[in-house]
């Protein structure tokens, strides 16, 4: 009798895991959603950083630098990898590949590696600004 109950529990667990995998596969976000979320997050971070520097936005405009175009260009480099129950977006930067986004359950998460890289680039911008002030 105990063997029968153990087998029933085992099959229930297997069925639940299979259902979870099916739900995860059905709710994997599209590559477009990955790009949209990454663009929003990157734009937010850049604008926050630029607001720290007086005249930074105007300096970019004077140089005819459109941040939206730069961000879109960077995101065209986003390469998607499908892992059946989730997917991930990667960008190649400085010879290395970084996971930028992770998508599952119809939600896209921006990874911390991406944020760290952007923050490091922001710190370099800050150093350059100090040199020219």
**pLDDT single digits (tens) 51-97:** 766 666 666 666 555 666 666 666 677 899 999 999 999 888 777 88
Q: Taking Cα atoms as reference points, which of 90, 117, 93, 102 lies closest to residue 33?
A: 102
Contact of 47 with 122, CB cutoff 8 Å: no
- With 0.95 as the threshold, say if the pTM is over it: no
Q: What is the mean pLDDT of residues 99-125?
A: 78
Structure tokens at 85: 């129950």
Q: Distance (Å, rounded) from C-alpha 32 to C-alpha 74?
A: 14
Kindly indicate the confidence band of residue 3, based on its pLDDT and cuts at 50, 70 and 90.
Answer: confident
Higher pLDDT, 13 or 114: 13
For residues 70, 72, 74, 75, the Cα torsion angle rounded to the nearest 10 degrees is: 170
Contact of 29 with 87, CB cutoff 8 Å: yes
pLDDT at residue number 97: 84
């Amino acid at each position: 009798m105990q063997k029968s109950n153990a087998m029933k529990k085992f099959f229930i667990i297997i069925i639940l895991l299979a259902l979870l995998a099916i739900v995860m596969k059905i709710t994997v976000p599209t590559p477009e959603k990955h790009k949209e979320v990454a663009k929003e997050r990157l734009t937010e971070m850049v604008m926050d950083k630029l607001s720290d520097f007086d005249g930074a936005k105007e300096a970019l405009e004077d140089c005819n630098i459109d941040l939206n175009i730069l961000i879109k260009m960077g995101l065209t480099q986003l390469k998607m990898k499908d892992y059946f129950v989730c997917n991930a977006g990667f960008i190649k930067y400085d010879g290395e590949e970084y996971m930028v986004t992770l998508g599952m359950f119809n939600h896209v998460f921006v990874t911390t590696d991406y944020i760290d890289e952007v923050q490091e680039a922001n710190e370099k911008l800050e150093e350059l600004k100090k040199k020219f002030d």
